Every structure is written in C-alpha cells, then in structure tokens.
C-alpha cells in the first residue's frame, strides 16, 4: 500500500513554475489522505488569483499516478483557508530561494 511519505515524495517533483521550488517545500500542500487506491490532496496556491492553478493541480495528479502505481484515483482540492504565507516555506525551500 502506498504511504503518505510516498505521496509527498512524488509531490516534491512538482515545482511551482513561477518560483522554482517544489510545492511541498513551498508549503502549498496542506493535507494528504490515502485510502487504498485513492489519494486526496488538499493544497493551496500562493494567491487565489494564481493563473497556474489548473496546471499545478494536473501536475499533482500526474506525479502521483506516474510514481505511485498502486494509486488509481487522485482528488485534488484547492483550499484557501488558511491563506498561504511565506512563513509556510520549509527550511529547504528557503535555502533554494537563497533566504538562508
């Protein structure tokens, strides 16, 4: 069975094209639920007006389906609460951005 760690590893291959940091380290992934062959992702964008939302949600689906062969269905839910903020970026993300 696929684990949450497997899903997060797959999601780390999805980079925000505007920032160049993966969506996990950028703090965009709010939750991962795994139920057998189904995965639910709760995620946000850096702003509700982000023009990349369709692109990123499809990249999330494809990354999981391509890297976690046990998964048959991926549901991605965009959420806006809490709103994303720069403090949500991980230490690794800050390093990639040159903030450390």
pLDDT in tens, 37-55: 999 999 999 999 888 899 9
Domain ranges of the chain: 4-95
First-residue to last-residue Cα distance in the chain:
37
CATH 3.90.1530.10 fits 4-95, yes or no: no
pLDDT in tens, 64-99: 999 999 999 999 999 999 999 999 999 999 999 998
**pTM for the model:** 0.94
**Which position has the token pair 């291959």?**
13
- List the strands of the sheet with 73-78, edge to edge: 29-35, 38-43, 73-78
Res 100: pLDDT: 75
Res 75: pLDDT: 98
Is residue 28 over pLDDT 90?
Answer: yes
């Amino acid at each position: 069975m696929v684990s949450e760690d497997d899903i997060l590893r797959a999601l780390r291959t999805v980079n925000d094209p505007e920032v160049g940091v993966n969506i996990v380290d950028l703090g965009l992934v709010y939750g991962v639920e795994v139920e057998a062959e189904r995965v639910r992702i709760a995620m946000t964008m850096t702003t509700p007006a982000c023009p990349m939302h369709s692109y990123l949600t499809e990249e999330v689906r494809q990354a999981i389906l391509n890297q976690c062969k046990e998964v048959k269905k991926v549901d991605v839910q965009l959420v806006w609460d809490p709103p994303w903020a720069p403090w949500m970026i991980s230490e690794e993300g800050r390093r990639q951005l040159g903030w450390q």
